[in-house]
């Protein structure tokens, strides 16, 4: 899920660049809405129809789960994440999270009731030690589970200045071991214990040229916080200015989803292809 954010940009003063190192066409019939990777060369793609595929070696499908042809009973899968050998799938309408291995075998359904009420996981992320941060679409709040067995999660109350806009995505920040919550006009950092730090984006009203940002993901690398929108890569500087790493419009197609991997690479997907990127000076 992504939101349009009105922002004013300044040019990047950093020498760090993002360069493509590999790309290949997507398997036929996929319309991706979420992507993740296992850090060992396997990439997982979820599409709009609930089809889930594991891809290796260019566009070769290694494993596949398709609700139309298999026994999986999820209703509305909306997000995926990978951690410590397990792939997690969030089913918003079904009120559950599914667990499967990297070969997509026999997904196990994990229901998430609290006090008799069903949780509707709209966005979520899993830490490297198995903690799960979920936005509950039913009650519009954040819940932090110590693991998938936890039946008494920490309910995180966002301060008023953090909930003026809706949440549009949650990522686990591998570089800093924290969660990053993406809002319409800010990034909210959440520690593994549920402590929050809010980073609003700075706006420059004196600049004439404006554009809109649709954040797909955010992460930390080289001691800096980065985000990716549908057209490019940006760095959030110490002054909380948003700096371009590459000019908007440099892609043939708008990006649909993106992920920062355990190997320090970035994977992006547009309508036609998957691309792998690296940071280089």
Structure tokens at 261: 């991997």
Structure tokens at 222: 């080289």
d(CA 182, CA 82): 19
Q: Provide mean pLDDT across the span 97-115.
A: 89
User: What are the tens digits of pLDDT across the range 53-103?
Assistant: 999 888 788 999 988 887 788 999 999 999 989 999 999 999 999 999 999
d(CA 244, CA 236): 9
pLDDT at 231 (0 to 100):
80
| Contact yes or no for 9/243 (Cβ under 8 A) | yes
**1, 157, 280 from 166: Cα distances, Å:** 11, 14, 34
Instruction: Give 182-204 as a DSSP string.
Output: EESSEEEEE-TT--EEEEEPP--
Q: What is the pTM of this model?
A: 0.86
d(CA 74, CA 92): 9
Answer whether residue 205 shows pLDDT above 60: no
């Amino acid at each position: 899920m992504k939101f349009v954010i009105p922002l004013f940009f300044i040019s990047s003063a950093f020498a760090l660049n993002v360069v493509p190192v590999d790309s290949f066409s997507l398997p036929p019939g996929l319309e991706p809405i979420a992507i993740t990777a296992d850090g060992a060369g396997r990439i997982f793609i979820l599409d709009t129809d609930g089809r889930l595929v594991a891809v290796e070696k260019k566009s070769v499908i290694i494993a596949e789960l398709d609700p139309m042809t298999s026994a999986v009973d999820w209703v509305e899968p909306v997000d995926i994440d990978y951690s410590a050998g397990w792939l997690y799938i969030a089913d918003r309408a079904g009120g559950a999270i599914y667990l499967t291995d990297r070969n997509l075998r026999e997904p196990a359904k994990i229901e998430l009731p609290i006090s008799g009420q069903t949780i509707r996981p709209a966005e979520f992320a899993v830490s490297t030690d198995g903690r799960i941060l979920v936005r509950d679409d039913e009650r519009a709040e954040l819940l932090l589970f110590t693991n998938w067995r936890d039946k008494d999660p920490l309910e995180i109350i966002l301060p008023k200045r953090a909930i003026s806009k809706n949440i549009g995505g949650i990522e686990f920040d591998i570089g800093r071991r924290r969660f990053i919550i993406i809002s319409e006009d800010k990034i909210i950092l959440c520690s593994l214990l549920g402590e929050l730090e809010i980073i609003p984006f700075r706006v420059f009203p004196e600049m004439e040229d404006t554009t809109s940002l649709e954040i797909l993901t955010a992460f930390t690398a080289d001691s800096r916080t980065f985000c990716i929108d549908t057209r490019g890569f940006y760095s959030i500087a110490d002054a909380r200015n948003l700096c371009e790493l590459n000019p908007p419009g440099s892609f043939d197609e708008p990006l649909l989803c993106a992920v920062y991997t355990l190997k320090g690479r970035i994977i992006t997907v547009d309508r036609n292809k998957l691309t792998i990127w690296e940071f280089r000076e």
